[in-house]
Structure 1
Amino acid sequence: MTRALRVHATGPLALVQDLGRRGLSGVGVGRSGAADRGALCQVNRALANPVDAAAVEVTFGGLEVEVLDEGLWCCVTGAPCPVRVDGRDVGSHVVFYAEPGARVVLGRPAAGLRSYLGVRGGVTVEEVLGSRASDVLSGVGPAPLAAGDVLPVGGPGKRFPAVDSVAAPDLAAEVVLRAVRGPRDSWVDDVEALVATTWSVTERSNRVGMRLGGAALRPARDQQLPSEGAWRGAVQVPPSGEPVLFLADHPVTGGYPVVAVVVDADVDRAAQLRPGDPVRFRWVEVP
Structure 2
Amino acid sequence: MNWVPPGPAWLFCPADRPERYDKAAARADVVILDLEDAVGAADKAGARESVIATPLDPARTIVRVNAHGTDDQAADLEALKQTEYTTVMLPKCESAEQIAALAPLNVVALIESPLGAMTVFDSLAADNAIGAMWGAEDLVAAMGGNSSRHANGEYRAVAQQVRSQTLLAAKARGLFALDSVYLDIPDLDGVRTEADDAVAIGFDGKVAIHPSHIPVIRQSYAPTAEEIDWATAVLDAVSHNRGVFTFRGQMVDAPVLAHARRIVARSSLS
TM-score (norm 1): 0.24
Greater share of residues in strand: 1
Greater share of residues in helix: 2
User: Which structure ranks higher in relative contact order (CA pairs < 8 Å, sequence separation ≥ 6)?
Assistant: 1
TM-score (norm 2): 0.25
